[in-house]
Chain A
């Protein structure tokens, strides 16, 4: 597909850490109709081989859910999950790659790493969402998404179970929307519908 034919907000990348799981699952349950979009999840997890997370998300959505393998092709109608112990990178608009280099903000996968490479690959077609967390990861990534012309949504720190992560992003950059976790699924759906009609 040619770069200038990208739809607005065709790709959504979501980052979260402590206290974000509930919101992530409710988002997964709200986006069933968006089969022409691509969703990418980067959630800090314990460094174990638990595939529970993938199962948990799968149980909430009719979209395909897939933990990313190296050089996997990016398709629509799919929720991709960053695998534990790897950074997830967007190689170009069509392909993921993985990287097992140093942790960033004590995290692998790091939200910053995925957000930054997604911003480079998708530019204005990207929506970035940063949820609850007790870590500085993701703030710089939100800045990169905004700089590349993408749309940025940050969970409202005043109601987030861990305020630090979304607050760091708000301190660093003027985001497009600050939304309470409880309203996040509805807000995202409305945003994607509006973007599609522009």
Chain B
């Protein structure tokens, strides 16, 4: 993408869009991190070739079908399989043996985007012979991106990288056995998605819907301001069983949140916490 945009929208314009989106569609971006949101709005003005901010605002106000696209583009849906392989290695070696003692394992991937992480986890569970007694709840704000999870299709061009990540995560098999290559696409085995439940869920406005042994929320909270982060941490606290695990992105931290006292970090260098009370 080129970044040769001529004009950067200001705070007032951003606030106007946020207000209108909430008033008309009920999606609340008020507590999204400002610098990133501003970039996303500028980006959509460029890629959808709006002559100015006013035209974008007009389209959003008068074309509900366009709003769906707006939400998709304002939120970041970049994800990969076994991202930060060391985290998955820790899950394999230290968390799965603990989860294995439970009769059922409930996992929530909060803000899962197109689902690469959900498939990674299903592979880990299968290799630990735990998939049969697990349920993976995959939720995201965008209805369109989670449709991809049901299809289980990912770009073939990514498989080399994912295969390397898989090996680094402690995977011992040939990664290509998990998918069928077809032209430029990799279709993952249906048995992996048999235990996945997909739903739309907005971390900003929706409540806890179950109790989990493990929650993933990686590189989602970076788009929220501290106030909203705190609110979401409380939501995770409500949604975790005692001694359940919370996995965050590699640069995210629970340390300064209100619920910090109720959690203990597993290792200093990894962003995995355990709910201790």
Asked if A100 and B33 sit within 8 Å, CB to CB, the answer is no
Interface residues of A in 6-44 (CB under 8 A from B): none
Interface set, chain B 215-259, CB cutoff 8 A to A: 219, 221-223, 225-226, 229, 249-253
Q: How large is the interface on B (under 10, 10 to 19, 20 to 34, 35 or more residues)?
A: 20 to 34
Query: Which residues of chain A (83-130) have a CB below 8 Å from chain B?
Result: 83, 86, 89-92, 97-102, 104-105, 110, 112-113, 116-117, 120-121
Of the candidates A98, A110, A121, A144, which one forms a contact with B222 in the assembled complex, judged by CB atoms under 8 Å apart?
Answer: A98
User: Which of A63-71, A149-157, A185-193 interfaces with chain B?
Assistant: A63-71
When the two chains form their complex, are residues A97 and B35 in contact, meaning their CB atoms are under 8 A apart? yes
**Contact A97-B36, Cβ < 8 Å, known A49-B84, A104-B3:** yes
Interface residues of A in 66-81 (CB under 8 A from B): 68-71
B1 at the A/B interface (Cβ < 8 Å)? yes
Say yes or no for A140: interface residue by CB 8 A criterion.
yes
Determine if B4 is an interface residue (Cβ-Cβ < 8 Å).
yes
Count of chain A to chain B residue pairs whose CB atoms are closer than 8 Å in the complex: 75
With A69-B251, A70-B222, A89-B39 as contacts: A101 and B33 at CB distance below 8 Å: no
A99 with B251: CB separation less than 8 A: no
Minimal Cβ-Cβ distance residue in B for A148: B8
B191-234, CB under 8 A of A: which get 1 and which 0?
Answer: 00000000000000000000000000001011101100100000
Give Cα distance in the complex from A83 to B34, angstroms: 20
Docked CA distance A92–B36 (Å): 11
Q: Which residue of chain A has its CB nearest to the CB of B161?
A: A47
The verdict on B78 contacting chain A, using a C-beta distance below 8 Å, is: yes
CB-defined contacts of B249 to chain A, threshold 8 Å: 70, 100
Contact status A100-B78, CB under 8 Å: yes
In the complex, A143→B34 CA distance in Å?
Answer: 22
Q: How far is the CB of B163 from chain A (nearest CB, A)?
A: 16
In the complex, chain B residues whose CB is within 8 Å of the CB of A100: 76, 78, 219, 222, 249
For residue A63, give the distance in angstroms from its CB to the closest CB of chain B: 21
Let me know if A117 and B39 touch, CB within 8 A: yes
Tell me, in angstroms, the Cα distance from A101 to B78 when the chains sit together: 6
A99 touches B1 (CB 8 A): no
Q: How far is the CA of A158 from the CA of B151 in the complex (A)?
A: 53
Interface positions, chain A 138-185, Cβ under 8 Å from B, are: 140, 144
C-alpha gap A110/B222 in the complex (Å): 17
The 0/1 profile, CB within 8 Å of A marked 1, for residues 33-74 of chain B is 111100110000000000000000000000000000000000
* A112 touching B3, Cβ below 8 Å: yes
Q: What is the CA–CA distance of A49 and B270 in the complex, to the nearest angstrom? A: 12
Taking a contact as CB atoms under 8 Å apart, the answer to whether A99 and B4 are in contact is: no
**Across the interface, which residues of A come within 8 angstroms of B39, CB to CB?**
89, 99, 101, 113, 116-117
| Complex CA distance for A68 and B253, rounded to whole angstroms | 12
**Bound CA–CA A157/B56 (angstroms):** 40
Q: Assuming A99-B39, A116-B8, what are 14 further A-B pairs, CB within 8 angstroms?
A: A49-B86, A69-B252, A70-B221, A71-B229, A92-B34, A98-B251, A99-B35, A99-B76, A100-B219, A101-B78, A102-B76, A104-B3, A113-B3, A144-B8
Name 30 interchain pairs, CB-CB below 8 A, sorted by A: A70-B221, A70-B222, A70-B251, A70-B252, A83-B251, A89-B35, A90-B35, A91-B34, A91-B35, A92-B34, A92-B35, A97-B35, A97-B36, A97-B222, A98-B222, A98-B251, A99-B33, A100-B76, A100-B249, A101-B36, A101-B39, A102-B76, A104-B1, A104-B3, A112-B3, A113-B39, A116-B3, A117-B39, A121-B35, A140-B4
